[in-house]
């Protein structure tokens, strides 16, 4: 008897979050399509690696030139699909990628050069060792929607320059931006099979994780990151996980209130608060608290919301309704527990469905969700502290540890406190901009993830380490080979004394005891 088989096609839709306009509809890549993409990448990778670093640098330089030429078009696409103001797309996405390409171009030779390893052990003096850095093979990247261009591009450039192939699964909300990155790389000379984008939903992402990739770089939520780690652990797939943050900002009693309040407003509301490095907890010395709050409220009320393609706009929309609901629930929980909403605290339906007013909260406590869970929205909760010790305790009272900032006129004091904060990055008198420093590693501690992207440490994540050793006396049997015996044991005891005994006399006695070991007879 014949049986009808129903094939379900999964769709993902790209929508402008500011206007609701449907930009494009895609069919989600199936598991078989993902596996086929990874297979093609694996076939293409050896030739890319054999191309050599000089030619790979030339291709990245061409990509950099193309991106610079198309900077405005790329920024507009990012704004249409992710909602952020176009100037933010230029600065936090296009500029970051251009500089990441510069970093790879300038550092690839030195990074991939064989590294000589000195041999201080006297027994090993006849050997010459080198450290080699070799590509993993195929790097899988699962990237988020909040920085749909800069996050996958920075990771991909590091993978490509070190000789890897790359398969990217972007967020289903920002597929167009990832495909633009793919197109630019292909025009620059990256082979099509070497860099591929597989568009789809979470099922597509799961297929990439379970495919035969050699390493995974994942950026997303803590809950999803833990599931990714469990799946990866089953086959010992190495991973880099960037899982968000709840970044604290500490405003000390000697800080410049005008500067610090401007930083807090920008740090909390840039990209509508949808940044893993956003200021999500603000702690202010009690002597500055009232003036600081007043300044933040006044500056927040001056912000202009709307479509990010309008150059006069400061804040765009949240990415979708689910994110609005999360922000709304955090604010309402805080309000119910006694927090005061000094400005904002509501949706802005007249501006658009996904707009939420930038919000300043006072009277918050660590019992509130707004101070414990990642909000990822335009909310600035401000809490006072009595002294530096309390400030450090509050900053470290979080499951997250991505980044933090300290604001003070005293650099030494700020750096001293920064050393005590549990975070992957601490900035003194700035926030968020660490992401734009190509030389600086990006990543966190605790639930903020494992591993690093950006900088030399980001390059290290893209290579396997191999130690290669050659003996300079290949025709000589080694002293430590069989066979052993009582005399050899005494000689080796003496040799250890020669190397490690304290005092000259002890070492001389050791030299005498070990004498003759090179002429030891009876070796097999």
Report the C-alpha gap between 205 and 263 in whole angstroms: 36
Residue 405 pairs in a beta bridge with 249, 427
Residues with a known catalytic role: 242, 276
* pLDDT the model gives residue 224: 96
DSSP letters for 276-290:
TTSEEEEEEETTTHH
With 0-12 CB in 10 A as exposed, 13-18 as middle and 19+ as buried, what is 322?
Answer: exposed
Strands 379-385 and 359-362: parallel
Evaluate the omega torsion of the peptide bond into residue 257 and state whether it is cis, within 30 degrees of 0.
Answer: no
* pLDDT the model gives residue 7: 46
* pLDDT the model gives residue 122: 87
Could you tell me which residues come within 8 angstroms of residue 437 by beta carbon, excluding any fewer than 6 positions away? 454, 455
Report the C-alpha gap between 313 and 504 in whole angstroms: 76
Report the C-alpha gap between 214 and 39 in whole angstroms: 12
45 backbone dihedrals φ, ψ, rounded to 5°: -65, -45
Measured CA to CA in angstroms, residue 132 lies from 31, 137, 138, 155, 373 at distances of 35, 15, 18, 21, 42
Measured CA to CA in angstroms, residue 489 lies from 376, 497, 499, 509, 514 at distances of 66, 13, 16, 15, 9
All structural domains of the chain, each given as residue ranges with its CATH number in brackets, are 29-243+457-466 (3.40.605.10), 247-436 (3.40.309.10), 477-519 (no CATH)
142 backbone dihedrals φ, ψ, rounded to 5°: -110, 115
* pLDDT the model gives residue 387: 98
DSSP 236: T
* pLDDT the model gives residue 522: 80
Predicted TM-score of the model (pTM): 0.95
* pLDDT the model gives residue 2: 37
Percent of the chain that is helix, strand, coil (3-state, to 5):
45, 20, 35
Angle at 393 between CA 388 and CA 398, to 5 degrees: 140
Low-confidence ranges of the chain (pLDDT < 50): 1-7
* pLDDT the model gives residue 1: 37
* pLDDT the model gives residue 520: 82
* pLDDT the model gives residue 517: 87
Measured CA to CA in angstroms, residue 497 lies from 53, 125, 247, 520 at distances of 47, 18, 53, 19
* pLDDT the model gives residue 516: 86
**First-last CA distance in the chain:** 74
């Amino acid at each position: 008897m014949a049986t009808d088989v129903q094939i379900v096609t999964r769709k993902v839709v790209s929508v402008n979050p500011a206007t609701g306009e449907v930009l494009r509809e895609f069919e989600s890549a199936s598991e078989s399509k993902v596996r086929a993409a990874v297979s093609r990448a694996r076939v293409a990778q050896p030739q890319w690696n054999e191309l050599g670093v000089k030619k790979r640098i030339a291709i990245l330089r061409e990509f950099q030139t193309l991106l610079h030429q198309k900077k405005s078009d790329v920024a507009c696409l990012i704004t249409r699909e992710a909602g952020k103001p176009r100037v933010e797309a230029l600065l936090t996405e296009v500029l970051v990628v251009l500089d990441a390409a510069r970093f790879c171009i300038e550092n690839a030779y030195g990074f991939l050069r064989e590294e000589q390893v000195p041999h201080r052990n006297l027994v090993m003096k006849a050997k010459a060792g080198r450290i080699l850095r070799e590509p993993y093979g195929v790097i899988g990247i699962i990237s988020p929607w909040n920085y749909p261009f800069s996050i996958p591009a920075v990771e991909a450039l590091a993978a490509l320059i070190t000789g890897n192939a790359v398969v990217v699964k972007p967020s289903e909300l920002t597929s167009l931006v990832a495909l633009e990155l793919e197109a630019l790389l292909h025009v620059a000379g990256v082979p099509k099979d070497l860099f591929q984008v597989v568009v789809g939903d979470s099922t597509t992402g799961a297929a990439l994780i379970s495919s035969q990739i050699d390493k995974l770089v994942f950026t997303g939520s803590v809950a999803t990151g833990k599931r990714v780690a469990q799946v990866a652990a089953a086959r010992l797939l190495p991973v880099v996980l960037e899982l968000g943050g709840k970044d604290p900002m500490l405003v000390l009693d000697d800080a410049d209130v005008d500067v610090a309040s401007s930083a807090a407003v920008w740090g909390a509301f840039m990209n509508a608060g949808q940044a893993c490095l956003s200021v999500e907890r603000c702690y202010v010395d009690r002597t500055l608290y009232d003036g600081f709050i007043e300044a933040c409220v006044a500056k927040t009320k001056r912000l202009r919301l709307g479509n990010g393609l309008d150059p006069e706009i400061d804040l765009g929309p949240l990415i979708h309704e689910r994110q609005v609901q999360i922000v709304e629930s955090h604010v309402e929980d805080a309000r119910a527990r006694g927090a005061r909403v000094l400005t904002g605290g509501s949706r802005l339906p007249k501006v658009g469905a996904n707009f939420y007013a930038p919000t300043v909260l006072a009277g918050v406590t660590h019992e509130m969700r707004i101070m414990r869970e990642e909000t990822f929205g335009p909310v600035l909760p401000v809490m006072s502290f009595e002294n530096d010790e309390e400030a450090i305790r509050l900053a470290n009272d979080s499951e997250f540890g991505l980044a933090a900032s300290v604001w003070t006129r005293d650099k030494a004091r700020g750096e001293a406190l920064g050393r005590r904060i549990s975070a992957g990055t601490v900035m003194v008198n700035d926030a968020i901009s660490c992401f734009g420093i190509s030389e600086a590693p990006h990543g966190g501690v605790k639930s903020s993830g494992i591993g690093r992207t950006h900088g030399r440490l980001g390059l290290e994540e893209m290579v396997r380490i191999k130690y290669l050793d050659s003996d300079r006396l290949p025709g000589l049997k080694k002293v430590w080979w069989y066979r052993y015996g009582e005399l050899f044991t005494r000689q080796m005891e003496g040799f250890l004394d020669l190397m490690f005994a304290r005092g000259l006399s002890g070492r001389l006695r050791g030299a005498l005891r070990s004498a003759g070991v090179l002429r030891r007879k009876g070796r097999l």
